Structure 1
Amino acid sequence: MLILQLQKFLTTPITQKSRQNQSRFTVIFWYSLSLTFAVGYILMGLKKAFSSQYIVGDDAREYISWMYRYFNPDLFPGDLIADYFQSVTPIGYGILYKVIAALGIDLTFFSKIFPIVLGLITTSYCFAVCMQILPVPMVGFIASLLLNQSLCMHDDLFSATPRDFIYPLFLAFLYYSIRSSGLGILIVLALQCLIYPLIGFVDLLILALRLFRWQNGQITISQNRKDYILFAAAIIVTGIVILPYAIQSSQFGPPITAAVARTMPDYWPGGRVSYFSHNIINYWFFGRDSGFIALIAPPQLLLGLLLPIILKFKSYFPLTKEVNDEVKLLLQAVIASLIMFFTAHALAFKLHWPSRYTHHTFRMVLAVAAAISIILILDATFRWSRENGKQIFILGTIIILGAGLVFYPSSFSLKVFPKTLYVEGKVPTLYNFLQKQPQNIVIASTSGEADNIPIFAQRTILVGKEYALPFHTKYYAQFSKRMIDLINAQYTEDINQVKDFIQKYHVTFWLLERSAFLPEYITKNTWLQQYQPAAQQANANLQKSLPVLATLINSCAVFETDNLVLLKTECIKVVTKT
């Protein structure tokens, strides 16, 4: 009797008739539990987000810094970095933050709390998609649990970048596709193209694949006129929405070609991007930007690979008769993602990084497929146990399964969960000092702390490692020139070269680390080593004598901490000799 009740609660489908009575409680229970875990994981991440005033998502510094122009249009005047990231920020994402700024809400604060909204929407659509494919509420719970664990093992809900929106929007697209809701599909597609256009291409390909049917071992073409109307409308929507963004993002030149990228240390291990690899397996499979199964975790997601096998042996898994034919949408999503993945490789880098087309969609598809596989296997195990009187076996299976799914984040294999990649600004006094300076100041620095100045002080920096994206030719050509000039000026003995640099880039302050004039500061800094021969020459200069800037620290410093010194360039300009 106990086994029968457990089977009914865990693996029995919700039929149209049963939805009106006692099974409604089952749906509410599993859906509520799904939301509970989602919120719990997110709150664990937000604990770090609000542990200090000066904390922000690592990549959020690129996207949110320039948006403070919404509060004050005079910020970042003539700022190359701000102008570039404004141009590559998807239009819909920019509009969202513009609305938030109009409401008077601090953008950094909003970026920290919005993951709650995204997490709830993601979980809800994940649960709904599962209920459409296999109406067993526990499938929705397991799928959303695995997906939320996967998202929290990376920073895909906490990054405060456009990619956070991939998950709720793509799952919504799958849901409305299963429901054959043309209006829902077009609305979600438009939003996807506005906020993260890359996945819009995957959506479009899925609609194209759905024009074909597999029947009796043959491929046939849909005879439904509405399918073609929907596909044509989707193409029009995609074109209308993406074209303005394509024009906007092209102002800093076309993307760097693969041939040129291969000659740049930025694209190899240790570089800013690390796209290429001498290990071909790593390059095609696991590379963060080049591999098609990059960042697939937790390993439980791989149970989704069992689904095609299980569906082939339906006699052993009776619950498969309840699986909706729309389960094929999962395969269509995989095929569409792979087509875009290989297309992006072939056109490198016109369609951005290839992995962006697979590792997000694969995680969602695998989470749903894994949940379905688990329930189909569990149901078969229930039936076998009942027939063979193995109650202890099925009870043990349930306990082990539940513990493995729920307690995995606290296992020894995960050192950090959730992984938020929040960055904490370590020098509040520096940000406060700079905020009191005129809005048109420019700070030159090779220090990593410079990356935090735009977001925390809203002041312009000349260069910064976080903003050194070697993607668009015009932007990176200017950025590289600045970086090389900065290294040359920082490590020269010639005061005139320093003055020329200051005048050329209108530098107001020079931020130095106290260790900047030690040889290992250059030799062990992979970022500086990308800019040759400037880095080698700087190291050679250090071997011979002390650079002129090092001799001016005491006389020109206007701000100091244990490791940082801020020099005012007006003081440097009046120096006549070393």
Structure 2
Amino acid sequence: MDNLFISHTPKKSQIIFWLALSLTWAAIYGILGLQQAFASEYVVQDDARHHVFWMRRFLDPELLSNDLIADYFQSIAPWGYTLFYKFFATIGIDPILLSKVLPIILGMISTIYGFGICFQLLPVPLAGFIGTLLLNQNLWFKDDLSSGTPRAFLYPIFLAFLYYLLKRSFIPALIVLALLGVFYPQYLLICIGLLFLQLCSWDNGRLRFSSQRQDYLFYGAGIGLALLMILPYVLNSSEFGPVVTAAEARAMPEFWPGGRTKFFTDHFSDYWFCGGRTGMFPREWCQLGFPPPQIFLGVLLPIVLQFPSRFPLAKQVSHKIKLLGQLLFVSFGFFFLAHALLFKLYLPSRYTEHGWRIVMAIAAGIALTVVLDGIFSTRPKPSPSRSRPWQKQGVAIGFTVLISAFIILYPTLEDEFPDVAYKVGKVPRLYDFFAQQPKDSLIASVSGETNFLPTFSQRSVLVSKEYAIPLLVGYYQQIRQRVVDLLMAQYSTDEADVQAFIQKYGVDFWLLDRSAFTPNYLASNSWLQQYQPVATEALTTLQQGKIPVVETLMERCTVFQTEEVVVLEAECILEKRHGR
């Protein structure tokens, strides 16, 4: 029987209303993200500094030319993702600008398909609203969507795949499967697992396979397409490879706490459950001050489904709900496989965190709807001693309002929502200065400001902590050698070392923090301390009171300075050697 909030036989107008309300909340969260994205001129999303900055080449081919870092990130970008940004660049849209606007659009698409999935599993619009509200909260508690990187496209595409899989829409499912392959190919493995499980069933303790020929045609075609799209990534060897092995990584400080890419830890729970790269649960769930409501509401679903007499709406939940369990099962399978084949399947957490966010949000939406219906459907037995019907309804409405308020207001209990991980450049004058230099300029520095220069100034840097990612050996060996050479030259007391370094790499400018020649600058920098023994040697030089050559040239060769940084012209340093 229908009640104030829940209609067992919804009309089209009711579906449109709840979908519109779902999209409204998606838009609200997206607008909150946009406010941070455009808070000032020099704002960029953390991961966009890796995966989007190099696309400025599409606007001007002379930018970032012969740039090792730009070449590396271009080489690892999925080609569909690259073509997407390139298309908009050809009509004059800046890639960084596009990466800021995309999240709200991708969030809306994710909401539409998330709502459709909920409605396929329980044809009650309220379930779709609650499920997508929780899903959007999940998405905006993490910076995946806001990054504009390949994983931002995962949610709308994968949710579309789940939707068409539930509907058994053959052609649309293959199309979105192909899209996933060119935007986020790693997740094709999850799709293969799901497609295979559609051919299986567990009946009376025995595993049985489908007897329907059309199932093998449909799911087999999907598996074949996914394997075909994965094949190029398996066969093609990267010019920056090979992938680091587990044994190599364990011997590198870069992969331990304090390193650039923390992976290993001695804490069991951090490694297996909450580690950002290694854990099976989304890291933000572990870090939030109060567990997200979708966790305990999602766990409630299998419980309420066992009591259809108490919760009548449970009878309308489709048997296709098993897809949620299958998604978690497949995710866990590849999670453990990724740990067993460490780094060959990229990072283990990538196989479970996305699935958890999707499954628990949808399960919570359905569970809460079933429970609310059960409360509203309660009818008191005729007895003078029992409460009147309107009192029961009042309690039900009050409970509904309380739960709704908690779910909607929950994000406000956290300090950072939405968590979009936008980074703000703090030295605008520096970015403007380098933007005015020749396009082929190369900047040498270990300053943290190098993390921003390729994005804000569109100029190449020799090294940077942000770009010193040690997963591909061929790339990182070059980066590591550059850092070692730079540290040796910056803290050397021999002019020949400094000038040889400039000539070796063709450095045009040398960027220095004001505190670069104090012992604490090196001693407190965990990133630089990875590069031993040169970091210790440089620290010893400063502690002994020796003055590096570069420090002595700061007054003579400075071409730009602020309270935070100093920029030296490399040509000036070379001129000193030749007596000019």
Aligning the two structures, in what range does the TM-score lie when normalised by the shorter sequence?
Answer: over 0.9
Structure 1 position 12 matched with structure 2 position 14: no
Structure 1 position 369 matched with structure 2 position 357: no
Relative to structure 2, which stretch is displaced further, 99-108 or 212-221? 212-221
Taking the aligned partners of 1:228 and 1:252, their CA distance within structure 2 comes to: 39
| Aligned-pair CA distance for 1:452 | 0.9
Residue 515 of structure 1 corresponds to which residue in structure 2? 515
Residue 409 of structure 1 corresponds to which residue in structure 2? 411
What TM-score do you get using the length of structure 2 for normalisation? 0.94
Residue 285 of structure 1 corresponds to which residue in structure 2? 273
1:333 to 327, 331, 342: 327
Residue 321 of structure 1 corresponds to which residue in structure 2? 315
Structure 1 position 549 matched with structure 2 position 550: yes
Taking the aligned partners of 2:76 and 2:237, their CA distance within structure 1 comes to: 5
The residue correspondences of 1:72-471 to structure 2 (distance < 5 A) are 72-246=60-234, 250-295=238-283, 297=285, 299-302=292-295, 303-384=297-378, 389=389, 390-411=392-413, 414-471=414-471
Q: Which amino acid aligns with 2:343?
A: F
| Aligned-pair CA distance for 1:265 | 1.3
Residue 564 of structure 1 corresponds to which residue in structure 2? 565
| Aligned-pair CA distance for 1:212 | 0.2
Residue 486 of structure 1 corresponds to which residue in structure 2? 486
Q: Secondary structure at the residue paired with 2:566?
A: strand
Residue 477 of structure 1 corresponds to which residue in structure 2? 477
Asked if the contact 1:194/1:242 (under 8 Å) is kept, the reply is no
Q: Secondary structure at the residue paired with 2:142?
A: coil
Asked if the contact 1:319/1:376 (under 8 Å) is kept, the reply is yes
Relative to structure 2, which stretch is displaced further, 243-252 or 344-353? 243-252
Taking the aligned partners of 1:518 and 1:139, their CA distance within structure 2 comes to: 60
Residue 288 of structure 2 corresponds to which residue in structure 1? none
Distance 1:249 1:128, change over 3 A: farther
Q: Which amino acid aligns with 1:560?
A: Q
Identity %: 47
Distance 1:320 1:567, change over 3 A: same
Taking the aligned partners of 1:318 and 1:295, their CA distance within structure 2 comes to: 36
Distance 1:437 1:243, change over 3 A: farther
Asked if the contact 1:134/1:323 (under 8 Å) is kept, the reply is yes
Gaps of 5+ in 2: 286-290, 382-386
Q: Secondary structure at the residue paired with 1:214?
A: strand
Q: Secondary structure at the residue paired with 1:37?
A: helix
Residue 573 of structure 1 corresponds to which residue in structure 2? 574
| Aligned-pair CA distance for 1:537 | 1.2
| Aligned-pair CA distance for 1:353 | 0.3
Taking the aligned partners of 2:236 and 2:75, their CA distance within structure 1 comes to: 6
Residue 496 of structure 2 corresponds to which residue in structure 1? 496
1:3-27 deviation line (CA, Å, top 9, x unaligned)? x8xx62423323xxxx5xxx22321
Distance 1:518 1:305, change over 3 A: same
Distance 1:317 1:520, change over 3 A: same
Taking the aligned partners of 2:185 and 2:379, their CA distance within structure 1 comes to: 49
1:507-563 deviation line (CA, Å, top 9, x unaligned)? 111100001111111111111111111211111111111211111111001111111
Q: Secondary structure at the residue paired with 2:271?
A: helix
Taking the aligned partners of 2:124 and 2:160, their CA distance within structure 1 comes to: 19
Q: Which amino acid aligns with 2:406?
A: G
Taking the aligned partners of 1:495 and 1:376, their CA distance within structure 2 comes to: 76
Q: Which amino acid aligns with 1:109?
A: L
Distance 1:296 1:222, change over 3 A: farther
Taking the aligned partners of 1:408 and 1:477, their CA distance within structure 2 comes to: 46
| Aligned-pair CA distance for 1:247 | 5.5
Taking the aligned partners of 1:216 and 1:374, their CA distance within structure 2 comes to: 30
Taking the aligned partners of 2:380 and 2:476, their CA distance within structure 1 comes to: 66
Q: Secondary structure at the residue paired with 1:367?
A: helix
Asked if the contact 2:282/2:356 (under 8 Å) is kept, the reply is no
Gaps of 5+ in 1: none
Taking the aligned partners of 1:480 and 1:246, their CA distance within structure 2 comes to: 27
1:472-502 deviation line (CA, Å, top 9, x unaligned)? 0100111111111111111111111111111
Q: Secondary structure at the residue paired with 1:105?
A: coil
Taking the aligned partners of 2:261 and 2:126, their CA distance within structure 1 comes to: 40
Residue 60 of structure 1 corresponds to which residue in structure 2? 48
Asked if the contact 1:176/1:185 (under 8 Å) is kept, the reply is yes
Taking the aligned partners of 1:577 and 1:547, their CA distance within structure 2 comes to: 19
Taking the aligned partners of 2:235 and 2:424, their CA distance within structure 1 comes to: 35
Taking the aligned partners of 2:143 and 2:284, their CA distance within structure 1 comes to: 13
1:177-205 deviation line (CA, Å, top 9, x unaligned)? 11001111111111111101111110111
Taking the aligned partners of 1:62 and 1:145, their CA distance within structure 2 comes to: 30
Aligned residue pairs: how many? 564
Asked if the contact 1:91/1:194 (under 8 Å) is kept, the reply is yes
Q: Which amino acid aligns with 1:528?
A: L
Distance 1:90 1:246, change over 3 A: farther
| Aligned-pair CA distance for 1:63 | 1.1
Taking the aligned partners of 2:433 and 2:303, their CA distance within structure 1 comes to: 63
Relative to structure 2, which stretch is displaced further, 173-182 or 424-433? 424-433
